[in-house]
Amino acid sequence: MKDIVIEGLWKSFGEKTVLHDFSAVLPAGTTTGLMAPSGAGKTTLLRILMGLESSDRGTILGLEGLRLSAVFQEDRLCENLNPVSNLRLVTPSLSRKEAEEALRAVGLTDCLKQPARELSGGMRRRVAILRALLADYDLLLLDEPFKGLDQETKETVMADTRRRCAGRTVLFVTHDQTELEAMGAVSRLTL
């Protein structure tokens, strides 16, 4: 595994420049935190890394051949599938028992058979996080993943997330300094 190197990235939407000559290194096998005010280009950067947007200028080295997984700001669950089926959708080799154990680890026990559309926002969020963590990936992109979780649940989910992504390359976007510390971010970026 190698570092991901971002050099001189620019991105504008009309007259508004959201990324202005941004450069950074995401060290392989570590968690990098990214903090910036709303509208500064954090989500745009993640979308460029995922190939969902293209930059106006600049280069990104080290993404070739990498498998990506992501937690978006929206949960993006399949509404008619239950939590177990949502997890197994992206990781078909995951057994039902393994999926249920992963869900229990983040406090989801009484909703395993409910369709996602009937889950609370916090429950949906935990399923979305687990779905990304259980996928087979080399680079994990987390866009404010713990937003909307109460403090106790957030601490449980952050501990589980940190354990599951240990030794992998992670870019973690947040507005909360304590989340960066809890996730063990070894380097921190700002836009």
The CA distance from 72 to 122, in Å, is: 14
Work out the percent of the chain whose per-residue pLDDT is above 90.
95
> CB neighbours (10 Å) of residue 128?
23
Compute the mean pLDDT over every residue in the chain, rounded to the nearest whole number.
Answer: 96
> 1 falls in which pLDDT band (50, 70, 90)?
confident
Q: Output the six-digit token pair for 73.
A: 């700001």
Instruction: Reply yes or no on whether the pLDDT at 38 is more than 90.
Output: no
DSSP string, 145-180: TTTT--HHHHHHHHHHHHHHTTTSEEEEE-S-HHHH
Residue with tokens 């304590």: 178
CA dihedral 141, 144, 150, 153 (to 10 degrees): 10
> What element of type H or E holds 18?
strand 16-26
Q: What is the pLDDT of residues 74-99, one digit of tens each?
A: 999 999 999 999 999 999 999 999 99
CA dihedral 68, 44, 63, 140 (to 10 degrees): -30
Looking at residue 119, its amino acid is L
Mean pLDDT of all residues in 160-167? 97
